[in-house]
Structure 1
Amino acid sequence: MKALIQRVKHAKVEAKGQITGQIDQGILVLLGVEKHDTQALADKLLNKLLAYRIFADADGKMNLNVQQVAGKLLVVSQFTLVADTQKGTRPGFSKGATPQLGEALYDYFVKQSKTFIATETGQFGADMQVSLQNDGPVTFMLEV
Structure 2
Amino acid sequence: MGKTELYKIRPIENLKDMLSQSVSFLGDCAAFRKIGQNGQTSSITYKAFAADVSALGTTLPELGFKNKKIAVVGENRYEWCVTYLSVVNGVGTIVPIDRELPADDFKNLLKQSDASAVVFSEKCLDVVKSVQEEA
TM tier relative to shorter chain: under 0.3
Q: Which has the higher contact order (CA 8 A, sep 6+)?
A: 1
Question: Which has the greater radius of gyration?
Answer: 2
Task: Give the number of the structure whose residues are more often strand, by fraction.
Answer: 1
Q: With the length of structure 2 as denominator, give the TM-score of the two structures.
A: 0.24
Q: With the length of structure 1 as denominator, give the TM-score of the two structures.
A: 0.23
